[in-house]
Amino acid sequence: MAELTVSPQELKFRFELRKTIPVLLSLTNSGSEKVAFKVKTTSPKKYCVRPSSGIIEPGSSKDVQVIMQAQREYPPSLEDVKDKFLVQYTAAPGAREVGPDTFDSSSNKDIKQTKLRVVLVGPPKPPSPVPEGVEEEASPAKSAYQADDAPSASQRGDSGSRERERSLEAQLLKAQKDKADLKKRLDLSELQGQSRGRGSQVQAAAG
């Protein structure tokens, strides 16, 4: 009695325009005799099956590649797909290959089959663009780094103002010092004048 495990039970294709899309189908002979298999589809022009038939030894598996041909337009609906696959299998004790009569239902009454449905999944999402807010948030950080390396325009303006203030303060201190020195000289000159006047008076009194 033929025993064949078919996995997966549905063929899921990630649909993309103008690209061939392969899906792997695994067939496992879990019985004790050879099994012949054949894969059919309702849309033979749309799909390519490799291999489409063969013999599987007892306890062995065979991988079948189902390829969706590149499509030029999107289907009307990804959810409502009419494509289907049919895996037929039968015991083939002494067979080396699948013959033309192996799956002839009129001569072989021991043909079993497993139906597989097709599922289409939308194309992968493109990478999300960098949000504008991220770029805007990065600008202050960049300005901060620039501030560490070189003073900004406002900082240069503040520095110039401070330098002018220090220059004015120095000039003011110098003027105050000059004024004090001048006052000292004036006071000294006045004292000397007073001293000479008293000396003249003493001499006159003595004469």
Dist CA 112 CA 30 (whole Å): 14
**Confidence (pTM):** 0.59
**Residues 6+ away with beta carbon under 8 Å from 13:** 21, 23, 68, 118, 119, 120, 121
Residue 131 has a pLDDT of 62
Output the pLDDT for position 144: 44
**pLDDT for the residue numbered 38:** 98
pLDDT value of position 159? 63
- Mean pLDDT across the stretch 147-166? 60
* pLDDT tens, residue by residue, 77-88: 888 899 999 999
Question: What pLDDT was estimated at residue 158?
Answer: 60
Predicted pLDDT at 40: 97
Say how far apart CA 45 and CA 69 lie, in whole Å: 8
pLDDT of 6 > 90? The answer is: yes
Q: What angle do CA 116, 33, 58 make, to 5 degrees?
A: 70
Confidence of residue 33 (pLDDT cuts 50, 70, 90): very high
Confidence of residue 179 (pLDDT cuts 50, 70, 90): confident
